[in-house]
Structure 1
Amino acid sequence: MLKERKQQFRLLAGAIVLLVSVCLGVVFLGVTVANQLEEKEENKTASQGLTESTGKSAVARLVSLPPQQRATNLDAFASGPKSREQYRARYLLASDLIQQNQPEQALNHLEGLESDYPVLASHVALKRAQAYQAMGDRESATGVWQTILKKYPNQAVAAEALYHLGKSNPKHWDDAIAKFPSHPRTLEIVRQRLKNNPNQLPLLLILAKHTPKALGMQEIRDRIVDKYADQLTPEDWEMIGTGYWETWKYGKAGKAYAKAPRTPRNLYRAGRGLHLDTKATKGKIFYQQLISAYPNAKETGLALRRLASISKRTEALAYLDQVIQNYPDEAPQALLDKAKILEKLNSKVSAGQARKSVLTQYASSDAAANYRWQMAQKKAAKGKLQQAWQWAQPITTNNPDSDIAAQAGFWVGRWASKLGRPNDAKAAFEHVLARYPESYYAWRSANYLGWNVGDFTSVRYLMPKVVRPQARPLLTDGSATLKELYKLGQDQDAWALWQVELGDRKELSVSEQFSDGLLRLGIGDNLKGINQVWSLKRRETPQEKAQWAALRDDPKYWHALFPFPFLNSIVNWSGQRELNPLLVTALIRQESRFEPEIRSVAGAMGLMQVMPATGSWVAQKIQLKEYNLKNPDDNIKLGTWYLSFTHQQNSNNSLLAVASYNAGPGNVSKWVNRYGFSDPDAFIEKIPFRETKGYVKTVFGNYWNYLRLYNPDISRMVEAHAATKSVAASN
């Protein structure tokens, strides 16, 4: 039976390799049929050319292919009549040839292209200079760099010219710093000069301003604060405070914001940062300054609540009453905070009245949803499922945008099922799947509705068909040059231009932040790219929330949140380990956000966050003598073996295997013995490690999103289900 299953898995693995290769244009060694099918498909695409009326570019569809694989089709376009597609093909070929150390051929494609292709004229000149450099023709390269400075002095390519010319004339580097401080080449110059002389405050401030989250920036901010505090302006302190705040150094952020301009946000963050740094008395001062100076600011209600949390009970009640009377957004939580204090003062009737006010006057608030859910969980823990259902059910209607709405809706279904109300259970699961299709609980609901999406006992061996978009999404922000570079996969050049176009802007619009995320993903900055897209949910104004909601209706938003880097290695090693490649992708996304060199505080390394000791143990098991945990293929090779091992240790139950990957097999074994495992959903809720409980839900939520986004059958089912429920709701 085991031999039969392994043979079946190999056939399925070959099928997914074939499907991914054909649909995505990814090369897999040994899959010759896939290559032949792909070549036929791309030749067909090439012959069709560009349909200008639809704006679809056949050349752009070749961008996802490796240079060697797209060369034939690009040559076909490049040798055709002049057109936008021909110019694109020539540019892309030239760029590929420079990287392949064939600069002479690149120059042939670039001949006359600067005038033919005005949207990328400056970058055509850039490629010519790079080609001459690759040939070792310094004189010609210098001539082109100088021409770029004359023809395109204000464009991003000028920073490249200044960088190269500055190697022999330092004045050009001065000009780059003065004119293009945010350009990646300029930042290289800054770092090089600081390496030679670290005591240059203006250069340190450039890095603090333009690379606040880069590796090593905490040390640079610390150096600025320690050595140059008396030379910093209030605006400098605000910039430094923001850098600390966004990297979770709240105590240091609070001290910096204390010296920043007196805005509501800065005063609140000064108080909160000091408060979190166990300096409540100092934090209190800034909370009070905020309340006095900006009584109507949105931060003031929250500051009053923070003040209440560090004040004596009677004083705290006075602060909370101010919030309840004057700040409706904070009033629901203030009422719950007040109820806790009243209970401690033995005023149980008044405490009950405060909670009742939350449920009646602020029924749609997050505070009401959270309170209802807490009560539902308490009732369920005592076996009072009817009461648990009654507490949780209103969340699905009163609080549809709450972070816990999907979870509450799912458990409303589970409890209804246990109470012998199958129709109510079915309705609850259908609601969760339609209203929260991106949630982990949508996957669990789909399971209970009988969809073939895999459950904890079967997901390991599923090999779902995967189809990715053939072309990149269009950027909605930036210049026409930026959009064209991104469309052609010229990611480093696009990123450099984007940095110049953003300049000193502190705040990005919703659309700009999404574009920033896409561009970061393009250069392989996957963690920050995904986080840029994800953090759009934190936008606060009604207009921004509406823009975010509209973006969520576009598949490109979800594709950006759930990208597919390192797909070759994932499919290869998943196949060899008999693991669902989407499950492996889901785990990697949670472990490292696809950052191959990331290292945890505990020392775990690489894409699958393999501990060095574990890596050494696995390497011995598979007789691997040489490996590097920062190498993506090595890391996936070792990580997938260990994930397969945790499956084997847990009878191929993926819930327990994934939990073991995070918390260790020993802990999971203890939990199973302690809580039992008859109900996997209940087991997850009882996991005592908060990190592991969230980890399990996130990994399987990731798996579900990859499945619903990239599997055509499931994608159609989700869309049809949502449409059906939408029609039913409108009738």
Structure 2
Amino acid sequence: MLKRRGTQVSLAIGAGLCALLLGATLSVTTSGFTRKWQSWIQPQPSSLPSQSQAADSAVAALADLSPEQRAAKLAAIAQGKQGADRNRARYLLASDAIRQRQGEKALQWLKGLESDYPELAAYVAFKQAQAYTVSGKTAEAAAAWKSLLRQYPDHPVAAEALFVLGRQDRQYWDQAIAKFPTYPRTQDIIRQRLRQNPNQPKLLLILAKYGINAPGIVPVLNRLTENASFTATLQPEDWEAIAFNYWEHQEYGKAAEAYARAPRNSLNTYRIGRGLQLSGLNSQAYRAYQLLATAFPQAEETATALIRMAQLTPKPINGIPYLDRVISQFPDQAAEALMVKADILEGLGSGKSAAQSRQSVLSQYPKSDAAAEIRWKQAQRQANTGNFLAAWQWAEPITKQNSESEFAPEAAYWVGKWANQIGREQDATSAFEYVLAKYPESYYAWRSAVQLGWNVGDFDSVRQLQPQVVRSGHSSPLPTGSATLQELYQLGQSQDAWALWQVEFKNPTKPTVAEQFTDGVLRVGVGDHLDGIFMLSSLAWREKTEERSQYQTLKQQPAFWQALYPFPFLQPIEAWSQERQLNPLLVTALIRQESRFQPQIRSVVGATGLMQVMPETASWIASQIKLKQYKLDKPEDNIKLGTWYLAYTHREYDNNSLFAVASYNAGPGAVAGWVDKNTFSDLDQFVEAIPYGETKGYVKSVFENYWNYLRLYNPEVSQQVEQVAQASDSYQSAFKF
């Protein structure tokens, strides 16, 4: 299981899924692997606001197709009447020709285009230089690179010319470093120079500031901070950038040391303490929190620091004054402080006082997350005694007063389960529909769909399903970025869009909601699924009212969900799902959870690749299937081995995907023990009773992933979810007694 910044991150068969995502539709029977193909060419419409006019472009609708698939249609548009789409078609045809090393053909499409296509004029010059290069016309190529630099000296794409020309004259590289330090080609220049001479602190500092997600950045930070002659030149603002980079890579102890030398403010001071605490240096962390509380008594970080101080005190009773200060001074965190105080009092044997603290949470802060936690624990206690009506009564306020709490989807789902158990079937139906309307992306939405009898697969039947899948034919527009960026992105020029964004993205340490969304989408576009999905999913952590509103708006857009649930590595997933008779969306869901589609990723215990296969497990599987040579970081091999093992765990448990997925994470031995000891006939209860917290979260995440792929890309399920959402007002009756 992978972790990222403190959080866990961790196919129709045959030609089917790949063809569908490129422009076909599949219909299947649910009892087997029969299928029939129908062509489709109409993409789903986009509704995300944008500065780009390319959103409704016929050319943009072809951007996701391969050069071979789109060539004829693009050529027809390019030879048609003057207009924006004619320019776009010519540009795409030239780009495709360059990739195919047909430079002369590309130059024909590019001739005169810069004057007709001002949004991409600089990139037309860039493509002309590339076309001469792939044609082997050295002199013309050099002239074209210099022309690009002369005409567009301040445009970020000029860094491409500086990179090429710098191979002969290194002064061009100096210009790139001075003018475009964030541009990827410039970062390549810096790394090449550091390989030749690693003792260049100015270059190291540029990488430290602008290469936050670059491969191998932590050794760069170490080299910069462990050399006394280098550190003597660093300013407090430099240390802040270094600290942030360490923090992003979970090097918390080193981040704390760097923050200690950064400008003194409440956030930096808090991170000194937190970094020390996460490194196990509790006494030092306590002193840092004390410094924060003294120097910044009104800061919001101080409230969190006081709560942590209360938890770090050797004598728990000494922590109560810190909590009382939070309760009196910081109303937004008072409920959390009351909960911690209740736990301390209970540990000291003061059960009555602890109960009073918890009651204060319910009476004074009924809309807090702490109140939701109290209610949910009480609901579970009542359910465990068989008093389902009382459990319902405790869970009901969560759906109204704590509807944004992490407990809300689970509470609403179990209201439906408990309603069924006491014979109130209509209330149960309303509860399940409420979950689907209010929390459609949740694991409990899938469980609710199962309870409603939708054809979405249950634990014991999901393996056999072969869902129909249809994806939008082109990318939805971005909420921010220049007109040039928008054009590049809409035309599927992911690498160029990403490179330009590195210059346009001015404040990556404190991005706006629109900037963070754009960054995440563009990362996914260039295959950085780990950080891209993180950037998108962590938008949910925004707390300010305006930012949460912006996030909720983005969540309504297809682009948000399609970026969160992409379809890389279609061919091998599809092929090996067919071979193993596995639901391809379940395989995709598991890969998303295991590796975020990063083929080179390796866990701390050695699990490798897309399906995080352990080397010893791979060796055993290879002996079973007589596979002599393989590489775990090669997608084809990894999926071949991982799907065999997933099919094996299914066979071990009579095709029950709950047990199979749990076994994939925890091992067959552990799951066998749980099955033997567990008397639950209700598999929902089994999931909640899984004793390994990681495995319980893993099971829910994999099936939540599966459900989201299904609700986003299966037309039938998408329509059902939409219908439920449109009628959502009627479901409130499920929570009335």
User: SS of the counterpart of 1:543?
Assistant: helix
Sort the Cα spacing of 1:131 and 1:594 in 2 relative to 1 into closer, same or farther, 3 A. Answer: same
Amino acid in the other structure paired with 1:159: A
The answer to whether residue 292 in structure 2 is matched with residue 282 in structure 1 is no
Q: Is the 2:24–2:39 Cα contact (8 Å) retained in structure 1?
A: no
| 2:274 corresponds to | 272
1:42 and 1:73 in contact (8 A); partners too? no
Q: 1:297: how far off?
A: 1.5
Asked whether the 8 Å contact 2:470–2:715 carries over to 1, the reply is yes
Among residues 251, 258, 261, which one is paired with 2:253 in the alignment?
Answer: 251
Q: What does 1:529-548 align with in structure 2 at a 5 Å threshold?
A: 529-548=532-551
Change (3 A) 1:17 1:109: closer
Following the alignment from structure 2 to structure 1, what is the Cα–Cα distance between the partners of residues 456 and 42?
Answer: 31
CA shift for structure 1 position 346: 3.3
Deviation, structure 1 residue 558: 1.2
CA separation of 1:688/1:519 partners in 2, compared to 1, >3 Å: closer, same or farther?
A: same
Give the aligned partner of residue 451 of structure 2.
Answer: 448
Residues 61-140 of structure 1: pairs in structure 2 closer than 5 A: 61-140=61-140
Compared CA separation, residues 156 and 730, structure 1 to 2 (3 A): farther
SS in 2 for 1:673: helix
1:177, distance to aligned residue in structure 2 (A): 0.4
Contact 2:12 2:574 in 1 (8 A): no
Aligned 8 A contact 1:16 1:464 in 2: no
Name which of structure 1's ranges 285-294 and 462-471 shifts more when overlaid on structure 2. 285-294
Amino acid at match of 1:164: V
2-side partners of 1:505 and 1:208: how far apart? Answer: 13
Counterpart-to-counterpart distance in 2, 1:13 and 1:399:
46
CA distance in 2, matches of 1:352, 1:436: 32
Query: What does 1:236-247 correspond to in 2, within 5 Å?
Result: 236-247=238-249
- Equivalent pairs counted in the alignment come to 707
Higher RCO structure, 1 or 2 (CA under 8 Å, sep 6+): 2
2:685 to 665, 678, 682: 682
Corresponding residue number in structure 1 for 2:24: 23
**Aligned twin of 1:573:** 576
CA deviation map 1:643-680 (0-9, x unaligned): 11111111011111111111111111111001145211
CA shift at 1:728, angstroms? 6.1
Which of 659, 664, 670 pairs up with 2:662?
Answer: 659
**Displacement of 1:498 after TM fit?**
0.8
Shift of 1:53: 9.4
In the superposition, the TM-score normalised over structure 2's length comes to 0.91
Are residue 715 (structure 1) and residue 718 (structure 2) matched? Answer: yes
Query: 1:512 & 1:276 partners in 2: Cα distance?
Result: 29
2:558 alignment partner in structure 1: 555
Unaligned runs of 5+ in 1: 1-9, 26-30, 44-51
Cα contact 2:430–2:731 (8 A) shared by 1: no
Kept after mapping to 2: 8 A contact 1:182/1:503:
no
Say yes or no: does 1:352 pair with 2:352.
Answer: no
Q: Distance in 1 between matches of 2:316 and 2:618?
A: 53
Residue 156 of structure 1, CA deviation: 1.1
C-alpha distance in 2, partners of 1:159/1:285? 47
User: Corresponding residue for 1:593?
Assistant: 596
1:424-458: per-residue Cα shift (whole Å, max 9, x none)? 33332222122111100011111112222110111
Contact 1:23 1:470 in 2 (8 A): no
**Mean CA deviation greater in 616-625 or 664-673:** 616-625
Separation (CA, whole Å) in 1 of partners of 2:53 and 2:292? 56
Query: CA offsets per residue over residues 38-71 of structure 1, 9 Å max, x none?
Result: 6xx599xxxxxxxx99952111111111112211
For 2:372 and 2:75, the matched residues in 1 are separated by 60
Deviates more, 1:542-551 or 1:569-578: 569-578
Q: 1:383 to 1:231 in 2, by over 3 A?
A: farther
User: Which residue number corresponds to residue 397 of structure 1?
Assistant: 400
Are the equivalent residues in 2 in contact too, given 1:482–1:494 (CA < 8 A)? yes
Report what 1:193 is aligned to.
193
Shift, 1:125, TM fit? 0.6
The Cα of 1:551 is off from its aligned counterpart by 0.9
Going from structure 1 to structure 2, the CA distance change for 1:285 and 1:420 (only over 3 Å counts) comes to: same
Cα RMSD (Å)? 2.5
1:3 counterpart residue number: none
Q: Name the CA distance, whole Å, in 1 between partners of 2:705 and 2:16.
A: 22
| 1:523 equivalent in structure 2 | 526
TM-score computed with the length of structure 1 as normaliser: 0.92
Aligned-pair identity in percent equals: 54
The aligned amino acid for 1:478 is: G
**1:285 and 1:496, CA in 2 relative to 1: closer, same or farther beyond 3 A?**
same
Q: CA deviation at 1:337?
A: 1.4
Higher normalized helix content (fraction of residues): 1
Change (3 A) 1:593 1:149: same
| C-alpha displacement of 1:160 | 0.6
Q: SS of the residue aligned with 1:214?
A: coil
Q: Following the alignment from structure 1 to structure 2, what is the Cα–Cα distance between the partners of residues 595 and 639?
A: 14
2:729 and 2:93 map into 1 onto residues whose CA distance is 48
Task: Name the residue aligned to 2:209.
Answer: 209
Equivalent runs, 1:696-711 vs 2, <5 Å? 696-711=699-714
Q: Which amino acid aligns with 1:296?
A: Q
Q: CA deviation at 1:33?
A: 9.4
User: Counterpart of 1:150 in structure 2: which amino acid?
Assistant: R
Kept in 1, the 8 Å contact 2:375–2:395? The answer is yes
- Provide the rounded CA distance (Å) in 2 between the counterparts of 1:11 and 1:324: 56
> Which residue in 2 is equivalent to 1:638?
641
What is the match of residue 472 of structure 1?
A: 475
> What is the rounded CA distance, in whole Å, between the counterparts of 1:332 and 1:728 in structure 2?
30
Q: Distance in 2 between matches of 1:221 and 1:730?
A: 57
Quick one: distance in 2 between partners of 1:148 and 1:87?
19
Change (3 A) 1:92 1:569: same
1:24 touches 1:468 (CA, 8 Å); kept in 2?
no
1:301 and 2:286 correspond? no
Which residue of structure 1 aligns with residue 172 of structure 2? Answer: 172
